[in-house]
Every structure is written in structure tokens, then in C-alpha cells.
Chain A
Amino acid sequence: MIDRIPILQIGDFLLITIQVDMHDQLALQLQDDLTARIAKTGARGVLLDISTLDVVDSFIGRMISNISSVAGVLSARTVVVGMQPAVAITLVELGLSLPGVQTALNAERGMELLRLAMDEEASGDAVGQ
């Protein structure tokens, strides 16, 4: 059993692909690793790919929400991509609508969203200066 999920850096963004069954310890470890990496690299966006995740519980649901909030505090945007229908239905039935978490259908669209957000921020900064 693996004990951590790899976090890949692509330019300004961090890419996390969850390809194993999430258990609670793994989720906590991921949160720790991610916050450390964002702080270290100054990444501006996080892409969380859960397209192969087909079982969720309330803990994992809250973890997704937490990751997004923590990244937000460190001024990085999070986009959750590729959620399976069954997972979406389960989260809704659990009452976890993940407010404030951005979503996209697949990794490509998610990347687009992140770039768009970066561009907006960049132009916003330019106007501010």
C-alpha cells in the first residue's frame, strides 16, 4: 500500500491525480504535502483530478473542500476535475455541495480555467499598478 500521492509541478500549477483508493491517512498526508508544496513553490493553481475515484465518503468529500480552502488561503486556485456521476450524486446526498470549489469536466478544461483565472489576475494587477 502506498503512503503518499505524488504532486507534480507544471509551470505555475500543481497537478494531483488520485489513482488509488483514498483512505483517511492518505488524505491527511496529501493535505500536508500539498500545503508544504504550495508554500515552497508559490504555485498559483492546483488541479485535483479525481476521474478514477469511484468511491467517496464524507471524509474524502470534506478533504476535497479543505484542500480547496487551504490552497485559497495560500492564494492558489483549486479546480477539481473529472468527478464521476456516482461520486457527484453521493456527495450531494451526503449534503456536501462543496461551495467555493471550482469544477471542470476534464483535466484539459480545468487547465484552461486555471489559465483564464491567471490571465484575469494578471490584467487585474496591471490595472491596479
Chain B
Amino acid sequence: MQKTAEILRNADSTLFDSWVADLQSGGWGDGGRFSETDWRNQAAEFLKLLAAASQDGLPDLDGNAGTALRNNLETLSRTMAMRGATSGQTATFLFSLKKPLFAQLQKAIPNDATRLADEIWAANALIDRLGLHSVSAFQKSREELISRQQEEMLELSTPVVKLWDGVLALPMIGTLDSARTQIVMESLLQRIVETGSTIAIIDITGVPTVDTLVAQHLLKTVTAIRLMGADCIISGIRPQIAQTIVHLGIDLTGISTKASLADALTLALKRSGYVVQKQAGASA
């Protein structure tokens, strides 16, 4: 395996140039995710680190000597993930190094097929490990990205707004699952206690579908609100959803339901004893 390490250690511009050419012909830099100077620098930097790690034979990815190399790969993968590249593209970056490296090996060992095969096998294993490492780093940063976005969505989706003195509204957006219902329920109940509101309006205009599970979550919320001593009105029920609710046989008796938030507010005002009147002589 001496030859592979030696080639990596003394990596010259031929290796770099043919790698870059390979990447380019494979259309790697297309799509504007990286500027050309950017990924050229990236490739040069990577080769430098690879050379440094190959000082005493083939680089050991797990050991201390490989730390810089690993970090470099992880940074690269994270950048790729942030910019929306695929895992395939990340892996291709490293796998493209095979061809130029094998070509150099072939040149360096012209007459010994067995040794050449050994060297190529070692080089192949090394690059595969590098590729796998970068893909798993890519996957990890993608998962972090997704879970962060999920958390942000949860926080975004539970604004409790005060519509009137004693009237709270909760515009729900997105699908209702158990975790979200729990958060929605808690924040709404907490606000009811804080503000002493007697009426809470849950607006489900932004809920795309209502199935039995979603309806069950809604019913739970309504029951909890009633237990606290406040009233609940569900508004924003679209015609299709009304039909679905009836077809599924969901029992909403005892719960006030309204087509629009405006209707719900009117009902809430009426219940709290307010009258809204148009001023005589006012235009529009």
C-alpha cells in the first residue's frame, strides 16, 4: 500500500487537475450551488489534508491523524446539505477522485499486476470510507435541519390572540397530530387562565383535512376548555370538511360550530352581552 500513500503524499497538480476535470465533466459544479472557485478551493484543501494525513502510510480515518480530514469532510457535507444538494452529489465529489488516483497508480506500477491490484484495492477502500463518512455526515446535518424546522413550526403554529375582552381566538394552521394538539391545548388553556376569558374560538380554516383522529383531538381540547369553565366555539369549517365530519359520523353536538371566524365572533359578542351596531349615516 506504499504507493497509494506515496502518491497521496506527493499529490501534484496532475492529480488535482484530472480530479477537477472529472468533476467538471460529471456536471458536479452545475446548478450554482457552489461557485467554481469555491469547490476548486475545497478540492485543493481536501487534497492537502489528505496528503498531510498520509505521511505515515495510508490515512487512518478513525485515529487522531484523521481528525482534520474528518472535520473537513463534515464541513463540506454540512454546506452541501444547507444548500440543498443531494447525498449523491456529496458522495460523487469524493468518488470522482478514484479515476485519477487509479490512473496514477497504473503509471507508477507498470509491470506488476498483483501489486497494482493490491494498491488499487487499498485506494478504493480508502475512498469508499471517505465517501461513506461524508454521506453519513450529510445525513446527520439534514436530520438536524429537519428537526429544527419541525420545532420552529410547532412554535409558529400556536399563536393565541385576544379578539375582544374575554374572547380568545386560536387560528390553527397545518395538520393536527397528538404532539401539536398537546401544545395547542396547553397554550390555549394557559392563556384562558391568564386573561380570565370566558370564550375561546378555535379556527380551523388552516387545517387541510379533518379525520376521526383530528376530530378526537379537537373534542379533547373543547372538553378541557369546558372543564376550565370557559366556552368554546369552533369556526372555519369549510363545506367539504362539514361533509367529511358528517360522513365519518363524528358527533359534535353540544359544541358551537360556525362557518367563519366572523360568525364565531358575532356569537361570542352576543353571549357576552355586546351589541355591534352600524352608525347611522356612516358610508359603506
* A interface with B by C-beta (< 8 Å): 80-85, 87-89, 91-93, 97-98, 103-106, 109-110
* Contact of B83 with A by CB under 8 A: no
Which residues of the partner chain B approach A83 to less than 8 Å between Cβ atoms? 227-229
Contact A85 B189 (CB under 8 A): yes
For residue B167, give the distance in angstroms from its CB to the closest CB of chain A.
Answer: 13
From A80, A85, A109, B190 is in contact (CB under 8 Å) with A85
Report how many residues on chain B are interfacial, defined by Cβ distance under 8 Å: 19
Chain B interface helix/strand/loop/mixed = helix
Question: With A and B bound together, what is the CA distance between A104 and B192 in angstroms?
Answer: 12
From A93, A97, A103, B228 is in contact (CB under 8 Å) with A103
What per-residue 1/0 map shows which CB atoms of B193-209 lie under 8 Å from chain A? 10011100000000000
* Contact of B224 with A by CB under 8 A: yes
Q: List 24 A-B contacts (CB under 8 A).
A: A81-B229, A82-B229, A83-B227, A83-B228, A83-B229, A84-B193, A85-B190, A85-B192, A85-B193, A85-B224, A87-B227, A88-B189, A89-B189, A91-B227, A92-B220, A92-B223, A97-B223, A97-B227, A104-B229, A105-B192, A105-B197, A105-B228, A106-B229, A110-B229
* Contact of B69 with A by CB under 8 A: no
* Contact of B99 with A by CB under 8 A: no
Q: A105-B198, A109-B198 are in contact. Are A85 and B223 (CB under 8 A)?
A: no
Contact A103 B226 (CB under 8 A): yes
Which residues of the partner chain B approach A81 to less than 8 Å between Cβ atoms? 229
Q: How many residue pairs bridge A and B at CB < 8 Å? A: 55
Known A83-B229, A97-B223, A103-B227; further 20 A-B contacts with Cβ < 8 A: A81-B229, A82-B229, A84-B193, A85-B189, A88-B228, A89-B182, A89-B186, A89-B224, A91-B224, A92-B223, A92-B224, A93-B220, A97-B227, A98-B227, A105-B192, A105-B193, A105-B198, A105-B229, A109-B198, A109-B229
Contact B185 A89 (CB under 8 A): yes
* Contact of B49 with A by CB under 8 A: no
Look across to chain B and name the residue whose beta carbon is closest to the beta carbon of A64: B227
For residue B197, give the distance in angstroms from its CB to the closest CB of chain A.
Answer: 8
* Contact of B261 with A by CB under 8 A: no
Which residues of the partner chain A approach B193 to less than 8 Å between Cβ atoms? 84-85, 105
Question: With A and B bound together, what is the CA distance between A2 and B185 in angstroms?
Answer: 35
Question: With A and B bound together, what is the CA distance between A85 and B191 in angstroms?
Answer: 10
